[in-house]
Amino acid sequence: MRRYFGFIVIIALALIIFLGKNNSDAQDTEGVKINIFNVNKGKFAKVSKIVSDKGKLRKTLTEEQFHITQEQGTEPAYTGKLLKNKKTGVYQCVVCKTDLFSSDAKYDSGTGWPSFWKPVADENVGTKEDRSLFMRRVEVHCPVCGSHLGHIFDDGPAPTGKRFCINSAALTFEAMEENDENQ
């Protein structure tokens, strides 16, 4: 019996260490504050990362918005509501309203998806390698809530040469008044 006792103690210790580590990991991601640029305020602010409640999102988002942002979906080309939007303003994450792209950086790429050559700040988008569909692409997501937005390609216009190919359904548009005439 004594032999087994030592064995059980080791297993118990291993479990405690394992569970403790998992707990601290969870706290690390939830409590993390990141620097995000706020277009309205014209400056960076610390924002807490959000872990979205998928049950709630199913009720607040449309089926298409949920599929694209939470299940890495892609809307069919030329179907997005914001594809031809030429108004001045800011494109935000449809889930958490983080500022993502300015109308200044939007251009017609001819691909059928809203395209931007840069985000409002590098900090305002998250990226990771995506090897699905037998391709090697760079996936782009909201750094605050993790929602999938689209992909980045290297065939964009100068000066960045990047094309942020974004699903219209992952975005919401906040129009801004143009003050150019008064200046």
142 touches Zn ion by CB under 5 A: yes
Pick the closer one to Zn ion by CB: 49 or 112.
Answer: 49
Site size toward Zn ion (CB under 5 A) is: 8
> Is 165 marked active-site?
yes
Residues 6+ apart with CB under 8 A from 29: 49, 51
Q: How far is the CB of 146 from Zn ion (least distance, A)?
A: 7
Point out which span in 40-48, 98-106, 131-139, 168-176 binds Zn ion (CB under 5 A): 98-106
Name every residue whose Cβ is closer than 8 Å to that of residue 179 and which is 6 or more positions away in sequence. none
The residue among 93 and 120 lying less far from Zn ion, judged by its C-beta, is 93
Q: Which residue among 34, 57, 96, 138 contacts Zn ion (CB under 5 A)? A: 96
Binding mask 144-163 for Zn ion (x = CB under 5 A): xx-x----------------
Please tell me the number of Cα atoms within 13 Å of 117 on its side-chain side. Answer: 13
Binders of Zn ion in range 37-76 (CB under 5 A): none
Assigned token pair, 24: 């601290």
Helix (H, G, I), strand (E, B) or coil at 55: helix
CB of 83 or CB of 100, closer to Zn ion: 100
The answer to whether residues 67 and 147 touch, using CB atoms and an 8 Å cutoff, is no
Dist. CA 147–CA 140, nearest whole Å: 9
The only residue of 82, 83, 95, 149 in contact with Zn ion, by rule CB under 5 A: 95
How many whole angstroms separate alpha carbon 97 and alpha carbon 75?
20
Looking at the annotation, which residues are catalytic? 165
